[in-house]
Amino acid sequence: MKRIKAGHGGTLDPLATGMLPILVGEATRYADYGLSEEKSYTVSLDLSFQTDTLDMEGEVTARFEPLPQQPEKAELEKVLKKFIGKLEQIPPAYSAIRVDGKRAHQAARQGKPLELATRAIEIKDIQLLAFEFPVVTLHVRCSKGTYIRSLARDIGLAMRMGGCVTRLRRTSTGGWPEALMVSMDAFEKAGADCMMPLSQWLRDLHRCELSADEARRFLQGQRLQVDESFHGEASVFCHDILLGNAELKPGMKKMVLHPVRILPSAQEYFL
């Protein structure tokens, strides 16, 4: 029996639930497109304590209760506004980031946490959904590479308290709506009926249409002169059949289509 490749377009923390795009077969060639996309989360964090993992999976390292005076909602909203925009963020010690070839979480579990460099991220939006001290619930829209556990930690620090993540759910990757999510139970029952075509995964790319003769040449790896004004990455089609993706670059007289990835299923159809 032939094995079918499968991959995913992004990872989730052990505590997290929600959207995790799964790519099957030749679609795995495009898994990196999910890693670079904007993501959205709903997160609950507890200001009264903190752990070494920054979530409920770890050991408590500090407690901030009882307080002489509980923070007001207005104070929290003021703090949240400071985290919207481009930021430098320190990833959690318990993360999959590699430093000198070693995973940060492996070093942390051995009692030898690595010194992690800050990384540039962007918090596009933060909405305060609920605040009943000590629990804060937020909806966060952010760039790739953002650690929500680190964001919760930093919000807590700005409030002079903890910020331990107690609940985390990814609600969107790359603008895909939450309604498209399918549970493992539903997938086991419906199988392929739950799956979407690869063309939908590449929906944000410029679409370039070829004739059947051009398609055959493209699938042989040839560069093509095309009547296009667009400059950049494009998905390539012939009669609604996805052939692969390419780069459109200026040529002497026309734009030139440079093949990048070619799909074997399209080669079987046209060649």
CATH classification for the domain delimited by 205-270, as one of 3.40.50.1010, 2.30.130.10, 3.30.559.10, 2.60.40.1730: 2.30.130.10
pLDDT tens-digit readout, 189-223:
887 888 899 999 999 999 999 999 999 999 999 99
Query: Any residues with CB less than 8 A from the CB of 132 and at least 6 apart, and which?
Result: none
User: Which class in CATH covers the domain with range 17-173?
Assistant: alpha beta
CA–CA gap between residue 268 and residue 139 (Å, rounded): 45
pLDDT at 33: 81
The first and second tokens of residue 237, run together, are 């089609």
> How many Cα atoms sit within 13 Å of 36 on the Cβ side?
7
Q: Which conformational region is residue 199 in: left (phi greater than 0), alpha (psi within -120 to 50 degrees), or beta?
A: alpha
Q: Where are the domains of the chain?
A: 17-173, 205-270
- Cβ atoms of residues 248 and 206 within 8 Å: yes
In the block, which residue shows the tokens 């399918």? 182
Q: Cα(first)–Cα(last) distance of the chain, in Å? A: 25
Among residues 13, 46, 55, 154, the one annotated as catalytic is 13
Per-residue confidence at 11, pLDDT binned at 50, 70, 90?
Answer: confident
Q: Is 13 among the catalytic positions? A: yes
pLDDT at 219: 97
pLDDT at 69: 80
pLDDT tens-digit readout, 21-41:
889 999 999 988 877 789 999
> What is the reported pTM?
0.88
